[in-house]
Structure 1
């Protein structure tokens, strides 16, 4: 049986490798804007203005590319 592709890991790796500027929406409504530097099965490390922030995945609601979050085209 073929191994299933982990969509979450594929998308996070794409954001990381392309250094995509993201807005991360947390479950408490807080927003964080930055780039993914690393991730594993429990956390995402987001670079925000040169500082690394560790965010637990269970606290994340949504990832949106920064341009989409602000409505810019």
Structure 2
């Protein structure tokens, strides 16, 4: 698998989450958990919306993205 292939998989995964307008849990490498809806992305960042506030998160800081599991 080339770097371009993995980027494609990453883009498809993020696009599916955006289309579903689904709340996600985004875990940073530091252990911090962010919740919100992904509203956009580019090669370096993901834009997350939660309670009408936007957060710009750098992809290099992200460990895991998954659909949010309600507590």
When normalised by structure 1's length, the TM-score is: 0.84
Instruction: From the CA coordinates, give the structure whose radius of gyration is larger.
Output: 1
Q: What residue ranges of structure 1 are gaps of 5+ in the alignment?
A: none
Q: What residue ranges of structure 2 are gaps of 5+ in the alignment?
A: none
1:48, CA displacement in angstroms?
A: 1.3
User: Matches of residues 1-73 of structure 1 in structure 2 within 5 Å?
Assistant: 4=5, 6-67=8-69, 70=71
- Number of residues paired by the alignment? 67
When normalised by structure 2's length, the TM-score is: 0.86
